[in-house]
A and B are shown apart, each in its own frame.
Chain A
């Protein structure tokens, strides 16, 4: 580590205030989720009369929320794996090789970001139905896996900026294209892939339009649908809205906290030096 720790505390102070603000919101939300409904409604600011775990117990025993969590995790894991696979291959193809249509192709892959998803829903619905995948997680996973615009952009730029020498030296060893990709290039891109994983997982985790259309039975729904259910009639279910938001937020954050530390440091340094 050759970076010099800066002594000035101004940066630290700014970041501290900013983080405190975010932490405050999270803590405030968590704290509110332990308050009974009547207390939240008629004594919003006041000192709590009592704190309770009832809301959480209700959420886990009286509703299908555990299914929502499961559904969200299944969808997240598989669509993320597919996205990483597909986008790194596409990006490698565009970034590594020289052919006439590459710029146009990159733009083609960017188009998906520019169009509101609500408008294209009917054709997608018809395809998913014809495959018999309505009301299954698989259908949603496939549609999500097609949303590779952003990962393709990021990875293409990465592969383009890699120095030619690395490609050439790999080729001299006589490895096949697939082998080069799989055992040299893909690992090298791991910092980018990691940040893609974070960004895409946040997006996938919070999406609700596709599940709203494709998942109908209660046991297949996802967390955002659950939160929507409780926030739509907020006065009736303000307690559950809080608790479900906490469950959707805090554990992931915790995982992120552990995760980022390991990979951001280790892999990033190793990957570039090759």
Chain B
């Protein structure tokens, strides 16, 4: 008897399922009215011009949803207030894979996030005609400098909203530890080394370091490289030098030395990225080299936090710089509403949206009219020269057949930090792969 009951329940379930599935299907076919939350209903109410509002679908960066969610809620609200005839459907649905599937299935949303000239991706998208050129849509570019516009253009045409924030690496330090031992901020590279030595003598791990995490373990290299070899990197970009210049080898050597001398702590090879950050926030190491985009997380950790940029031998602080892609979006070439989609891009390129993002997460702005969120952001902006980003330089030396920047990330850095290779060998491996213009 018992068993029969189970069957009956199962059958009922299946029947229920069939009914519900049918219901779902018809709802979907009935138009875009699926899942109207009260918020969206309110938005619709504002489009009272008798015209049916144009629906713009936007994909946000899924991997940074937790960071960006609140800012975009506010940005999108401001946008719909300004353009009541445009109905915005913003979903954090963009991952590398969902985008790749959408491209292959020709099902792209109207707008989605791109990374500009930071990776070769946008160029490829343009090559296969996936992106809409935005030049004729009146995007206001008057606030931007040449470098920012270069990020957003391919072959002289504009394809995405230009960046307005900076990403760089910075040294976060624990003020309590510094105060307790009477340490002061380093003014030159030699003082920085001395600082590490002092901390080591006192039995404190100077710099937290995650050997397991491919990107995070490379931040010190990215920070040391422009600090010591920015001119050399510039020479490479101008086609006047190669990767074997002594300054570049020297920067690699510093990285290797730091690992070897124990500045990165014991067993750093096995530290993962959570353990790494938690060791800093718990006061187990005095400093950590991380991205400026994580500023908010550290600020909220309850730590007595300070920030500084690494000085070179002459006390000049040259930081690696790349643009933040938090607000750089492109328009699909297949969009049915190019004008409306371009308005969204234009809105992201404007001060109002950028200030909202700044007030929420506190990045380093590259445009003067954006007011920095707090003292912490100003501290991060305290550097002398915005230098080259090693990854970008190596990308420019890569071809279809040899990816030098990935070689750095996956092979050279791990071997260098475990002292498997010397700094000269590191430079040589990359040099031999590179294609100079």
Contacts and interface: CB of A to CB of B under 8 A. Distances in A.
A137 B24 contact: yes
Interface string A207-218: 001001101111
Interface string A103-142: 0000000000000001001100110010011111110010
A132 B25 CA distance: 8
Nearest to A85: B14
Contact of A43 (B89, B92, B273, B282): B282
A237 B66 contact: yes
A43 B279 CA distance: 10
Nearest to A124: B101
A133 B107 CA distance: 13
B33 to A, nearest CB: 12
Interface in A226-265: 229-230, 232-237, 240
B297 interface: yes
Contacts of B297: 233, 235-236
A218 B196 CA distance: 47
A81 B105 contact: no
Interface stretch (B3-11, B231-239, B253-261, B389-397): B3-11
Given A38-B300, A132-B28, A182-B7, A125 B105 contact: yes
B282 A45 contact: yes
A81 B10 contact: yes
Q: Is the interface of B mostly helix, strand, loop or mixed?
A: helix
Secondary structure call for the A interface: helix
Contacts of B63: 232-233
B35 A267 contact: no
Interface string B1-38: 01110110010011001001100110011000011010
A129 B62 CA distance: 21
Contacts of B282: 41-45
A42 B301 contact: yes
A270 interface: yes
B402 interface: no
A138 B14 contact: no
A190 interface: yes
A121 B101 CA distance: 7
Interface centre among B66, B274, B296, B297 (most CB of A within 10 A): B66
B141 interface: no
A268 to B, nearest CB: 11
Q: Which residue among A42, A188, A213, A230 has the maximum number of chain B CB atoms within 10 Å of its CB?
A: A42
Interface of B: 2-4, 6-7, 10, 13-14, 17, 20-21, 24-25, 28-29, 34-35, 37, 59, 62-67, 89, 91-93, 95, 97-98, 101, 104-105, 107, 273-274, 277-278, 281-283, 294, 296-298, 300-303
22 contacts: A38-B301, A41-B302, A42-B281, A42-B282, A42-B303, A44-B278, A44-B281, A81-B14, A122-B101, A122-B104, A129-B107, A183-B4, A212-B62, A216-B93, A217-B34, A217-B35, A232-B65, A233-B66, A235-B294, A236-B296, A240-B66, A271-B3
Given A78-B20, A233-B66, 17 more contacts: A41-B302, A43-B282, A44-B281, A44-B282, A81-B10, A81-B17, A136-B24, A136-B28, A138-B25, A212-B95, A212-B98, A213-B98, A216-B93, A232-B63, A235-B298, A236-B66, A240-B66
